[in-house]
Amino acid sequence: MGVAGAAYCLLGGCMLVPQLLGDARWIAALYPSLFKRFQPPPADAERPEKAEELPADEGLAIRLLGYLVLLLGACRVVTGFYWGCGYVYLGLGTCVAEVGVICHELLRHDSLQLHRGVPVLLANMALSILYVSSAAPHCR
């Protein structure tokens, strides 16, 4: 759970600061590409001069998704080190919440890339089963 949380923190951080990545800006589009055909945000030199040509909602959605992924990662890192009942439920809750988000997008039919979303869905289910089976005996 701690390793998955650290990976999510890194992924969320890369989504929030894509301009620091330089040529590796595709990392910022890794998680959003599960939900739609996402192009990484253009560099400042490539941006058009007029503000009307930039979709403002898309940048906001990517930042909010980055904060959500970062929050999920931080919760998973914390739950990777503590075995109290509340932390076990928090870790399980992060996996179930992400499964819910992916299933919601799957039910919309037009936005989820099925072959990209199902491995993430299965990985979250395996992580939650492994985590609960190993953490449940320590929960008192």
* pLDDT at position 27: 72
Q: What is the pLDDT of residues 5-26, one digit of tens each?
A: 898 898 888 888 876 666 666 7
Give the three-class secondary structure for 48: coil
Helix (H) or strand (E) holding 131: helix 114-135
Q: How far apart are the C-alpha atoms of 11 and 63, rounded to whole Å?
A: 12
Whole-number average pLDDT of the chain: 76
Identify which has the larger pLDDT, 42 or 36: 36
* pLDDT at position 74: 92
Domain limits of the chain?
A: 2-138
Helix (H) or strand (E) holding 29: none
- Count of CB atoms within 10 A of residue 27's CB? 15
Whether residue 31 has pLDDT greater than 60? yes
Reported pTM: 0.72
Overall size of the chain counted in residues:
140
Whether residue 3 has pLDDT greater than 70? yes
Q: What is the pLDDT of residues 67-124, one digit of tens each?
A: 988 999 999 898 888 777 888 888 888 888 888 888 877 776 565 677 777 888 888 8
* pLDDT at position 85: 80
